[in-house]
Structure 1
Amino acid sequence: MGLLNKKQGLIALLLTLALTVSAQVNPSQIFANSYKFESSGDYQKAISELNVLNGYDYHKALRLGWLYYLAKDYENSKKFYNQAISLAPKSTEALLGLCYPLEAQKKTDELETVYKKILSLDKGNSKVNYALGNIYYYRQDFVQAEKYFDIVQTMYPFDYYSTLMSAWTKYFLGKKTDAKRLFNTVLIISPTDQSAKDGLGLLK
């Protein structure tokens, strides 16, 4: 009888410990704590909160990629974003996340590769089309820049940035009529814009 009571006591203790551990690793609470530390700027504690989490591997990796980026640890940021990509290869959010540390490190060639991979999954992504247009513009590859700026312009004709960049791209390609039209459009969006005024001045 005494042995039975000891066994029952041991089982009860193990159940209590299991419930305690389960409560300690509640995924929702772990993420809530991580968000709280992030909002206060304590990125290391926000990261540490996630280390006890089992499961939710993609979500954990994506969040760690973001937190390491905020902490300016770009190598670890890339590591976890790539881990998220390996877990969900068609996730554009993970690919977009990877762009943050690459942009911070000015890894233009790698960014170009990632941007094109995103467009293979989401060809109408305006942010990525614009970003690729910028890469080619500053390389002075205006033919390629025009291609991507035109895509954004088709979707967002009233967008200031793509309209201005498209105007300058047309100017450097010698497409003066298109450039003039776009510079004038910029002045509808932003009536005091000096860059558009300078462009029109060059076309006189």
Structure 2
Amino acid sequence: MKLIHYVQILIIILFTSNPYTSPLFAQESHWQSSYRFEALGQYDKALQALDSIKANDPAAELKVLRRGWLYYLMGNYHESIREYRYAKERNANSLDALLGITLPLLAQKRWREAEQNSRHALALAPNNFIGLLRLTMALEGHQDWRRMQKTAVRMVALYPSNYTAYLYLARAYAKLNQRSDAVAAYTAVLMRYPGHKEAKAYISQ
């Protein structure tokens, strides 16, 4: 009888100490499931995998940001904006929230709001590439070619190996009818991205 009792105790200890049954592992599996479903393009299931994470959980902020991203991927821009706004309310200095919300705003062609959020992010991190890029995209959207050109010049100075910076600079010069400058910028694009279709097409005109 004593042997049976000891075996029962051992089973209880093994079960309760098993990392695979711990709350931490359970939460990790939720995240893993969410990322796995995202990779498969099953965004609704990726969202559902996070449902059990509570609002007071330490990972709640990440959950909100991830929901904003997944709704954006689904094309549900209103819900995406709602989640990112909630993330901003939780953490006003969150670059992830400020830059994240620009994605659905740009998709909805809400250029001014996208510009405002990009500028807010850049006030916190002046040389942030994503912030500069989203600002440039917003300026392109409402056809502010001069400020777009100035922002792209700044990107090129900070990130000289990045073809995207030169691409937006080239587009701005083209819209400003500065062909020689546009050709030079598109040539820089081709140096960093050989065969780029837009650059080749413009230069060959």
Common fold: TM-score over 0.5: yes
Structure 2 residue 137 is matched with structure 1 residue 140? no
2:12 counterpart residue number: none
Structure 2 residue 98 is matched with structure 1 residue 95? yes
What is the aligned counterpart of 2:50 among 47, 52, 65? 47
Read off the aligned partner of 1:55 and give its amino acid letter. D
Whole-angstrom CA distance in 2 between matches of 1:172 and 1:77: 32
Whole-angstrom CA distance in 2 between matches of 1:150 and 1:137: 14
Whole-angstrom CA distance in 2 between matches of 1:192 and 1:132: 26
2:82 counterpart residue number: 79
Offset at residue 124 of structure 1 (A): 0.8
Structure 2 residue 121 is matched with structure 1 residue 118? yes
Offset at residue 115 of structure 1 (A): 1.0
Read off the aligned partner of 2:94 and give its amino acid letter. S
Taking structure 1 as reference, are residues 154 and 93 closer, same or farther at Cα in structure 2, changes over 3 Å only? same
Whole-angstrom CA distance in 1 between matches of 2:74 and 2:170: 38
Structure 2 residue 131 is matched with structure 1 residue 128? yes
Read off the aligned partner of 1:165 and give its amino acid letter. Y
Structure 2 residue 23 is matched with structure 1 residue 26? yes
Structure 2 residue 162 is matched with structure 1 residue 159? yes
Taking structure 1 as reference, are residues 85 and 135 closer, same or farther at Cα in structure 2, changes over 3 Å only? closer
Alpha-carbon displacement from aligned partner over 1:73-92 (angstroms, at most 9, x marks no partner): 43333223222212211110
**Is contact 1:92–1:118 with CA below 8 Å preserved after alignment?**
yes
For structure 2, the 5+ residue unaligned runs are 1-15
Q: How many residues align?
A: 180
Whole-angstrom CA distance in 1 between matches of 2:74 and 2:175: 40
Taking structure 1 as reference, are residues 49 and 154 closer, same or farther at Cα in structure 2, changes over 3 Å only? same
Give the number of the structure whose alpha-carbon radius of gyration is greater: 1
Q: Using the TM superposition, name which of 123-132 and 28-37 deviates more.
A: 28-37
Taking structure 1 as reference, are residues 179 and 120 closer, same or farther at Cα in structure 2, changes over 3 Å only? same
What is the aligned counterpart of 2:112 among 103, 109, 112? 109
Q: Secondary structure at the match of 1:49?
A: coil
**Is contact 1:43–1:71 with CA below 8 Å preserved after alignment?**
no
Offset at residue 36 of structure 1 (A): 0.8
Read off the aligned partner of 1:36 and give its amino acid letter. S
**Is contact 1:34–1:45 with CA below 8 Å preserved after alignment?**
no
Q: TM-score, normalised by structure 1?
A: 0.70
Offset at residue 72 of structure 1 (A): 4.3
Taking structure 1 as reference, are residues 118 and 187 closer, same or farther at Cα in structure 2, changes over 3 Å only? same
**Is contact 1:158–1:189 with CA below 8 Å preserved after alignment?**
yes
